[in-house]
Amino acid sequence: MWERAEMRGGRRSGSRTDFEVIPAVDIKGGRCVRLRRGCEHDVIFEGDDPVVAAERWLAEGARRLHVVDLDGALRRGRNLPIIESIVELAAGYSARVQVGGGVRSRDDVATLLKMGADRVIVGTIAIRDRELLKRLVEEFSDGIMVALDSLRGEVVVGGWKERTGLRTSVFARELEALGVKSLLFTNVEADGTLSGVDAAAIKEVVDAVGIPVVAAGGVSTLNDIRRIREAGASGVVIGSALYMGRIKLRDALREAME
């Protein structure tokens, strides 16, 4: 058994960690899809039933899923019945589900948590309504995860189209000070591109805070997963690399344990 060591950023330095490999299940029009850089018209993968995709990753050993309601994010309805089915399926595997996309109110958060989601991801709220974010954190604690969508070190919102002028690492510290318990850092320029990860950008955010940081965007090889671990992240969300066959989930899970 490995001994716990001191916290360094979002990771325990010098110890075996519970580094998570988290398959993504993005839902659009009732189907499982992958978009390039979040552009709704640039679909690089389109499957069928998101529940079937979720079951595949769970059966292969995933202990957490990352589910995004793209229709909710685009204000084109919600996929709550599909999400509920995925959450129920995951419970049968003793796995957890984090859900994002279109979360705009306290009721949206409460609905997803009551459904059984382990944590709900909020993004624009964190920028535009700090008071609401503070109330959400006070009420739901670690049930709230904040998305840090970053473009060249700057936080972006509004479907990754709106620049904020906020340095990602600085904003991460502000969120931690508000009581946020976990962050999802996404390199939006690389998301869905299979172009590799920006380990330095991940490390900058990890080193800025003492809470877990999950990284996403650009993963295409097992070495990318290794670099994210070495940067100190607590986990990685993988989407396109799994769906396009670049990485096998069992290999990614093995890499997470080494």
Which residues are identified as catalytic?
A: 26, 149
**DSSP code of 47?**
-
Report the C-alpha gap between 28 and 222 in whole angstroms. 28
Residue 106's Cβ-count burial label (10 Å; 0-12, 13-18, 19+) is: middle
> In DSSP terms, which residues pair with 11 in a beta bridge?
8
Residue whose entry in the numeric block shows the structure tokens 């989407």: 239
- Phi first, then psi: what are they for 56, rounded to 5°? -60, -50
